[in-house]
Amino acid sequence: RKEVEQDPGPFNVPEGATVAFNCTYSNSASQSFFWYRQDCRKEPKLLMSVYSSGNEDGRFTAQLNRASQYISLLIRDSKLSDSATYLCVVKSSGTYKYIFGTGTRLKVLA
């Protein structure tokens, strides 16, 4: 079983739609969680960290469920510019290694 699992998609949604991605992780000692965005053939860019109480940044909301070992990303009012691959990242406490999922592809259609 992979340490971090994501549905690869693609998720094709119309502009203005709300879309949600989930990511599951296997190591219960994981302490830090992030969502990175990666455009085609570019580097990953930090979208947001995920906090235990959940957090929001504009149209983006991230949630953490430790009991079920998953994190989620909700995008409201999707824009064409949101089309990208969204990478779930997990890190255990005191370590330096980021463990990435394979990413979920999102295509927002006009």
Partner 1 sequence: ETGVTQSPTHLIKTRGQQVTLRCSSQSGHNTVSWYQQALGQGPQFIFQYYREEENGRGNFPPRFSGLQFPNYSSELNVNALELDDSALYLCASSLPPQGTQYFGPGTRLTVL
**Interacting residues toward partner 1 by CB under 8 A:** 4, 8, 34, 41-46, 49, 87, 91, 94-103
> In the complex, what is the shortest distance from the CB of residue 14 to partner 1, in angstroms, rounded to a whole number?
25
40/110 with CB nearer partner 1: 40
Burial grade of 57 (CB within 10 A; 0-12, 13-18, 19 or more) = exposed
> In the complex, what is the shortest distance from the CB of residue 4 to partner 1, in angstroms, rounded to a whole number?
8
Could you write out the DSSP letters of every residue in 18-46?
-EEEEEEES-TTEEEEEEEEE-TTS-EEE
17/99 with CB nearer partner 1: 99
CA distances in angstroms from 27 to 5, 18, 22, 69, 70, listed in the order given: 12, 29, 16, 8, 11
63/85 with CB nearer partner 1: 85
> In the complex, what is the shortest distance from the CB of residue 106 to partner 1, in angstroms, rounded to a whole number?
15
